[in-house]
Structure 1
């Protein structure tokens, strides 16, 4: 008789757990290829010292560098330093741009005594406009949407005159507006409805 093949005892492969960095969002083993390696290491040391020790202890670094020539090691260190300097310069530039940026709230008169409130330049502060428009719609129980202004830039348009209320929400920095700086500059403008030629003629008569 032919022996029956015994059932396989091998287990299904276990899923691999990938641990991602809270700064660059790369797997922590690849932080050195990001532009924020220095901040990545600091975050890992503060939040997960055990993982940091596995990757960056003296023994771990010695083992890692053992396969590299001195020239390659020096080049790697120079490249990392250049990338970090470039990233820090970019971050400082973004901070300065935010400091000089401002949010404009425009109250615009429409036809038949209707008024809309326009909020411009929120995206300069990394505010996601669609959730922000939804937040405003829920807050004021009115229509609120993202549209393009005549300059081709996205803005939020809210139905009704809620200029002062919107300004208060911006300074409160709640929910999706939390990316705004504490002392965000807000400028309010009032755009009157232009009278058409027929109305002007009626007034002259």
Structure 2
């Protein structure tokens, strides 16, 4: 008698995706904030946003359970190292803020020949703007050429064909409307320009030298 093999069809069910929660200060999962450079700020944020997770990781019971496995000497060193890391990170962030406040963006309207102009933009990189992406944005917005080149001083700048200096100034203002120094806020579509302080943007004009002056 022939053997009869029976096949049972197994129903496949999709595994639901795991919902991850990240700290908006250091961008790590809350359980890893201690390995970053801003633990104090992370704890303050977590206590406000997710009190349940704060209790899980930083309640008196949680800390006792964690610290109970290490010596008092190691605990003191850990706290000291954490404080040093935070102070170093804060000093670095403060230096970056001061550098940003002192940086200038210069939009220059340059006359090439009679009735023909180009517009150069220098200094955007100091505010974290990707120059290549910004050049592409300007080229698309004005349907013209836009590229990143080095000027006579060897500094990278964006050069856009045409007289669009005021329009570019307005785009920067629009991108940062309602935003702060951290680059948050502003309007979509010009997100690439977020973080630029509009008070630090100047428009200047460079006229073509006459043949007798060249």
What's the TM-score bracket when you normalise by the shorter of the two chains? 0.7 to 0.9
CA contact (8 A) 1:171 1:184 kept: no
TM-score, structure 2 normalization:
0.76
Inter-partner Cα distance in structure 2 for 1:170 and 1:13: 44
Inter-partner Cα distance in structure 1 for 2:202 and 2:99: 17
Shift of 1:49: 2.0
Q: Specify the alignment match of 1:162 in structure 2.
A: 164
Alignment partner of 1:95 out of 94, 97, 101: 97
Q: Specify the alignment match of 1:136 in structure 2.
A: 138
Inter-partner Cα distance in structure 2 for 1:62 and 1:149: 60
Shift in alpha-carbon separation, 1:186–1:15, aligned structure 2, 3 A: closer
Aligned: 1:184 with 2:199: yes
Inter-partner Cα distance in structure 1 for 2:71 and 2:15: 37
TM-score, structure 1 normalization:
0.79
Shift of 1:119: 0.7
Q: CA offsets per residue over residues 36-94 of structure 1, 9 Å max, x none?
A: 11112222222222222211111111111111110100111011111111111111111
* Structure 1: gaps (5+ residues): none
Inter-partner Cα distance in structure 2 for 1:191 and 1:100: 23
Q: Specify the alignment match of 2:180 in structure 1.
A: none
Counting only pairs closer than 5 Å after superposition, residues 1-205 of structure 1 correspond to structure 2 as 18-111=20-113, 113-172=115-174, 173=176, 174=187, 175-176=190-191, 177-181=193-197, 183-194=198-209, 199-200=211-212
Q: CA offsets per residue over residues 102-138 of structure 1, 9 Å max, x none?
A: 1111112225643110111111111222332233223
- Could you tell which deviates more after superposition, 47-56 or 149-158? 149-158
Shift in alpha-carbon separation, 1:65–1:168, aligned structure 2, 3 A: same
* Structure 2: gaps (5+ residues): 177-186
Moved over 4 A (4+): 11-18
Inter-partner Cα distance in structure 1 for 2:102 and 2:69: 48
> CA RMSD of the aligned region, Å?
2.9
Shift in alpha-carbon separation, 1:70–1:13, aligned structure 2, 3 A: farther
Inter-partner Cα distance in structure 2 for 1:200 and 1:139: 37
CA contact (8 A) 1:41 1:52 kept: yes
